[in-house]
A = this chain, B = another copy of it.
Amino acid sequence: MKELTKQQLKVLKSVEVYLKKTGFPPTRVEICNELGFKSPNAAEMHLRALEKKGYIAIKSGSSRGISIVKNQKVFGTNLDQMPVIGLVAAGSPTLAEENIEKRIPCDPNMFKENFDYFLRVKGLSMMDAGIHEDDLVAIKKTTEVKNGDLVVVRLEDEVTLKYFKKDNYILELIPANKDFSIIKVDLREQEAFVEGKSVGLIRTH
């Protein structure tokens, strides 16, 4: 990262302190009051310099639209609140607010591939794969899946979590519990929509 001038560092620190104290970023005028400047433009120019050098991001047009850019080399990834969605038998899992049970603070890149949401598993059909009722399966929204992937598939209005196997126009959806039967779909007769695939799982003991 580029070096900061003495004044730029002062402004950056001042923003950080204000953020910590209030929970939201300062305005130009507030920075001026803090540091004794008499023109809002003084703060403005320092902020733009800090932005150019990569220390902060400024959302144009927004009031208090300053965010501190974390040093990516140190932390690597971002902490997000990943939504948890119940696997409802009918209808696709959507990220609409009313479907979100809660949110879990974690990194969307914590698994090998990034993911978009957690699906709360209902039913016992994946028991033999070590997936239990109420486990949270991390789902990446994608239609690019390959045989053997654990996928979220919609048939008509029913959504299920199954292993994917496709041979020409025959799609097989394989549960991992011998007590459940394989669903075979002839894609010439019936449509199947792949909503996403699982990239990981978490469970609370």
Chain B: which residue is nearest A127 at the CB level? Answer: B130
- Does A13 belong to the interface (CB within 8 Å)? yes
- Does A122 belong to the interface (CB within 8 Å)? no
- B20, B57, B105, B130: which contacts A131 (Cβ < 8 A)? B130
- B66, B103, B200, B205: which contacts A111 (Cβ < 8 A)? B205
Complex alpha-carbon distance, A80 and B197, angstroms: 26
- Does A109 belong to the interface (CB within 8 Å)? yes
In the bound complex, residues from chain B placing their C-beta under 8 Å from that of A23 are 19, 25, 57, 66-68
Interface residues on A, range: 35 or more
- Does A91 belong to the interface (CB within 8 Å)? no
User: Distance in Å from the Cβ of A175 to the closest Cβ of chain B?
Assistant: 15
Complex alpha-carbon distance, A20 and B104, angstroms: 12
In the bound complex, residues from chain B placing their C-beta under 8 Å from that of A97 are 10, 13-14, 35
User: Distance in Å from the Cβ of A142 to the closest Cβ of chain B?
Assistant: 13
Complex alpha-carbon distance, A25 and B19, angstroms: 11
- Listed by A's residue number, 15 A-B pairs whose Cβ atoms lie within 8 Å are A20-B80, A22-B59, A24-B59, A24-B66, A63-B63, A63-B64, A64-B64, A77-B79, A77-B105, A79-B107, A105-B110, A106-B107, A200-B202, A200-B205, A201-B201
